Amino acid sequence: MIVLGIESSCDETAAALVRDDGTVLSDVVASQIRLHAPYGGVVPELASRAHLQSIVPVVQQALAALPGGLESVDGIAVTHGPGLSGALLVGIQLAKALAFDTQKPFVGVNHLDGHLLAVYLRRGHGPHPEAPPFPFVALLASGGHTALYRVDAPMDTTLLGQTRDDAAGEAFDKCAKLLGLGYPGGPLVDRLAATGDPHAVPLPMPMAQRSSLEFSFSGLKTAIARSVERDGVPEGQALADLCASFQHVVVETLVRKSLFACEAEGVRHLVLGGGVAANRGLRARAQQLGAAAGVTVHIPEFASCTDNAAMIAYAGACRLLRGERDGLDLQPFTRDPARARGRFRPDGTLNAKRA
């Protein structure tokens, strides 16, 4: 089965063709980073208009990889949330029109399920890392979400813990903005952190108590803001040191809580997903502490971490293979619907229903 995936939930217009075994046949991403950069964040109205401009050429380019184009596709999958509603509508409407015209099977995909399954994508030739078996624990850390899930099968996920305020990617973006680095902040902080001393600047470790699977990154942002107010924006080595110290605290929090979740769930496989999983510090530390804890850490390729349509096509293929279909009245949604809550309450105590 070959599925066309379409993604337009935020600031990337994307389309991809993916086989149901995860093989990526094409993957086209038109980024709006330069459009939003002057504003230090995504401007929803500009995002919708840019999607409208790019979506048809992006989908055409993705389909060009397949002889027969759209006719040779077995199904159409589109992100229908969470995201910006005006942005989502652009992708949804085109996907519906294509499904209407071709009478191909059509499904909506939750963007977060796309990130959780991105590790199964197979790009290019040559030896691919082993795909994780179910169940696994997944850390999803992106610009809009930071959460831990237990994943028992595609789309069968239980929420274990999440952030109470900022997402990890949002913390990177806000930190970069305070330091005058630009947008999006993650890759910029990542690059500077590589040459800095992670212990140079003492910063608070957020939600440090081991038993809680909740995150909180807003205090860290305040600590950086205070430091800039007090001493101004550092330069040269001092800037690299502050980035390294910030990244160290975020990475330690993410990795330690992820491994605690594996221990609490009795699961030996950890999957990373979302834009922050592209962070080199996070990738290295997760592998290192995972190995020490006897947990195998599975990390998607860089191109599968940040927003793309290949992960949407793959998640769509999983739904289509189960015989699931959506009607052409599919609606966008802006927030993730409440997911079943796992063993832990937000305060770290056991949830009686699942304990």
**Contact residues: ligand KG4, CB under 6 A:** 10, 142-144, 169-170, 172-173, 184-187, 190, 274-276, 278-279, 306-307
Give the full edge-to-edge strand order of the sheet including 24-31: 24-31, 12-19, 2-7, 75-81, 106-110
The secondary structure of 299-340, three-state, reads CCCHHHHCCCCHHHHHHHHHHHHCCCCCCCCCCCCCCCCCCC
CB of 354 to ligand KG4, least distance (A): 28
Quick check: helix, strand or coil at residue 172? helix
Pick the stretch among 58-66, 134-142, 290-298, 321-329 that binds Zn ion (CB under 5 A). Answer: 134-142
CB of 307 to ligand KG4, least distance (A): 4
Residue 295 or 318: the one with the smaller Cβ distance to Zn ion is 318
Residue 50 or 240: the one with the smaller Cβ distance to Zn ion is 50
80: closest CA among 72, 70, 90, 71? 90
Quick check: helix, strand or coil at residue 121? coil
Residue 161 or 184: the one with the smaller Cβ distance to ligand KG4 is 184
What mask, x for binding Zn ion by CB under 5 A, covers residues 295 to 314?
------------x-------
Pick the stretch among 71-79, 92-100, 118-126, 142-150 that binds Zn ion (CB under 5 A). Answer: 142-150
Pick the stretch among 32-40, 54-62, 86-94, 136-144 that binds Zn ion (CB under 5 A). Answer: 136-144
Phi-psi region of 105 (alpha: psi -120 to 50; beta: other; left: phi over 0): beta
Quick check: helix, strand or coil at residue 15? strand
Residue written as token pair 């059509």: 106
Residue 212 or 304: the one with the smaller Cβ distance to Zn ion is 304
Choose among ligand KG4, Zn ion, none what residue 318 binds, the Cβ cut-off being 5 to 8 Å by kind. none
Q: Tell me, what amino acid is at 123?
A: R
CB of 149 to ligand KG4, least distance (A): 15
Residue 11 or 252: the one with the smaller Cβ distance to Zn ion is 11
Q: What Cα–Cα distance (Å) separates residue 152 from each residue in 49, 149, 267, 346?
A: 38, 10, 10, 21
Choose among Zn ion, ligand KG4, none what residue 185 binds, the Cβ cut-off being 5 to 8 Å by kind. ligand KG4
Residue 10 or 160: the one with the smaller Cβ distance to ligand KG4 is 10
Q: What's the CA angle centered on 235, arms 234 and 240, to 5 degrees?
A: 85
Residue written as token pair 């169940």: 135
80: closest CA among 113, 129, 36, 38? 113
CB of 155 to ligand KG4, least distance (A): 18
- According to DSSP, the residues that pair with 138 across neighbouring strands are 149, 271
142 contacts Zn ion (rule: CB under 5 A) = yes
Choose among Zn ion, ligand KG4, none what residue 240 binds, the Cβ cut-off being 5 to 8 Å by kind. none
Residue 91 or 185: the one with the smaller Cβ distance to ligand KG4 is 185
Choose among ligand KG4, Zn ion, none what residue 196 binds, the Cβ cut-off being 5 to 8 Å by kind. none
Binding residues for Zn ion (CB under 5 A): 142, 307
